[in-house]
């Protein structure tokens, strides 16, 4: 099919030229030969006819190219974007020893590794204590995360970040994810404490809001004790889970497990029309090369 089919009407011109080349009689030339036989000359006439037909064929190829030849391309699979917001606790207790370093360092190292095998997704980063701060907006550039590690360490955090208000931070992250109209929404909470703002049924209320916005929450409880029941409700009511890693290796396995549970989805696209110039362009180049060879000597001259 063609994008400009009306231009195909111009093919009449090269067709008329071909008709004239093969039907005209004007190139007969009488030459005197003494005692010589007169051949039919059909081979030479045929070769000359082919040579004179080449410009018309080149013009036909040009018309076909101008008419925008198109074909249906094979449907492509499109990766469905996942918007992943990390909500990381930077309260004073996050400096407690965990593995070779502290809880904050172990959490950020595991997050950075997680980014490496989630290529194509969009990531955001929020730090929280008693308040929260959206440090990295949702972006597909993971380098922004790696640069963030030194700046909001618990040791350097302002006094307003010394405590832990999980409900407040989760609702702040919900607003960020809810603004994304495209893709799945995933919230990963990393904390080592519990929060009084999840009491009195607030955990259920917040979980319902997250679920209503299509947000799945995974909680990583990075401390020795089991996660608080309110955090468990917060995660499981949205379709997520709570993890209690006891060391750095277990923490890495948690993020690997989250990756397996939230595998990227592939969406089948539809067949689309794409330009199909290649065969016509190759035909034109071949015709042009043959025409150039004919011009070296195999052409009609009336003298």
Looking at the structure of the chain, the number of domains it has is 2
> Do 105 and 218 share a domain, yes or no?
yes
Residue at 112 is within a domain: yes
Range of the domain at 119: 78-267
> Do 96 and 228 share a domain, yes or no?
yes
> Do 87 and 217 share a domain, yes or no?
yes
Q: Tell me the per-residue pLDDT of 62-91, one tens digit each, with 9 for 90 and over.
A: 998 888 888 877 666 555 678 889 999 999
> Do 164 and 58 share a domain, yes or no?
no
**pLDDT level of residue 303 (50, 70, 90 thresholds):** very low
Residue 3 three-state SS: coil
Residue at 303 is within a domain: no
**pLDDT level of residue 18 (50, 70, 90 thresholds):** confident
**pLDDT level of residue 122 (50, 70, 90 thresholds):** confident
> Do 258 and 114 share a domain, yes or no?
yes
> Do 254 and 282 share a domain, yes or no?
no
Residue at 236 is within a domain: yes
> Do 65 and 140 share a domain, yes or no?
no
Mean pLDDT of 43-57: 81
The tokens for 279 are 């065969």
> Do 43 and 98 share a domain, yes or no?
no
For residues 267 and 77, what is the distance between their CA atoms, to the nearest angstrom?
A: 6
DSSP-assigned letters across all residues of 190-254: EESS--GGGTTTHHHHHHHHHHHTTEEEEEEE-SSSPPPHHHHHHHHTTT--EE---SHHHHHHH
- Residue 154 pLDDT greater than 90, yes or no: no
Residue at 300 is within a domain: no
For residues 52 and 101, what is the distance between their CA atoms, to the nearest angstrom?
A: 84
Q: Tell me the per-residue pLDDT of 91-118, one tens digit each, with 9 for 90 and over.
A: 988 989 988 889 998 898 888 888 887 7
In this prediction, residue 213 carries a pLDDT of: 93
Q: Which residue is it, tokens 């904390």? A: 191
Residue 273 three-state SS: strand
pTM of the model: 0.63
Residue at 201 is within a domain: yes
**pLDDT level of residue 25 (50, 70, 90 thresholds):** low
Query: If we measure between CA atoms, which residue out of 280, 176, 167 comes closest to residue 234?
Result: 167
> Do 105 and 67 share a domain, yes or no?
no
Least confident of 95-99, 187-191, 268-272: 268-272
CATH of the domain at 261: 3.40.50.410
Mean pLDDT of 12-21: 87
> Do 91 and 122 share a domain, yes or no?
yes
Is residue 225 classed exposed, middle or buried when 0-12, 13-18 and 19+ CB atoms within 10 A define those classes? exposed
Query: If we measure between CA atoms, which residue out of 224, 231, 222, 244 comes closest to residue 199?
Result: 231
Mean pLDDT for the chain overall: 83
> Do 13 and 92 share a domain, yes or no?
no
CB neighbours of 79 closer than 8 A, spacing ≥ 6? Answer: 120, 264, 265, 266, 267
- Residue 293 pLDDT greater than 80, yes or no: yes
> Do 263 and 277 share a domain, yes or no?
no
- Residue 123 pLDDT greater than 80, yes or no: yes
Residue 12 three-state SS: helix
**pLDDT level of residue 174 (50, 70, 90 thresholds):** very high
Instruction: Look at 175 and 183; give whichever has higher pLDDT.
Output: 175
Residue at 299 is within a domain: no
Residue at 301 is within a domain: no
């Amino acid at each position: 099919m063609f994008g400009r089919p009306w231009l195909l009407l111009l093919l009449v011109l090269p067709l008329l030229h071909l008709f004239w080349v093969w039907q005209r009689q004007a190139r007969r030339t009488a030459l005197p030969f003494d005692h010589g036989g007169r051949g039919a000359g059909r081979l030479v006439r045929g070769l000359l006819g082919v040579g004179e037909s080449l410009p018309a064929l080149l013009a036909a190829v040009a018309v076909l190219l101008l008419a925008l030849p198109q074909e249906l391309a094979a449907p492509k699979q499109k990766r469905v974007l996942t918007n992943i917001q990390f909500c990381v606790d930077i309260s004073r207790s996050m400096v407690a020893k965990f593995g070779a370093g502290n809880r904050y360092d172990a959490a950020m190292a595991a997050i950075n590794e997680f980014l490496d095998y989630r290529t194509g997704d969009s990531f955001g980063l929020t730090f929280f204590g008693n308040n929260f701060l959206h440090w990295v907006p949702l972006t597909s550039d993971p380098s922004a995360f790696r640069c963030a590690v030194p700046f909001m360490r618990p040791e350097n955090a302002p006094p307003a970040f010394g405590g832990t208000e999980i409900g407040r931070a989760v609702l702040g992250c919900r607003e960020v994810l809810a603004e994304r109209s495209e893709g799945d929404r995933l919230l990963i909470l990393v904390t080592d404490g519990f929060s009084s703002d999840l009491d009195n049924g607030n955990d259920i209320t917040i979980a319902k809001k997250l679920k209503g916005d299509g947000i799945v929450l995974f909680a990583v409880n990075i401390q020795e004790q089991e996660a608080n029941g309110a955090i468990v409700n917060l995660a499981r009511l949205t379709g997520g889970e709570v993890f209690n890693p006891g060391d750095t290796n277990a923490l890495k396995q948690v993020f690997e497990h989250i990756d397996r549970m939230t595998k990227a989805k592939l969406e089948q696209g539809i067949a689309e029309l794409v330009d199909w110039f290649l065969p016509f362009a190759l035909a034109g180049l071949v015709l042009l090369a043959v025409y150039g060879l004919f011009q070296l000597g195999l052409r009609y001259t009336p003298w």
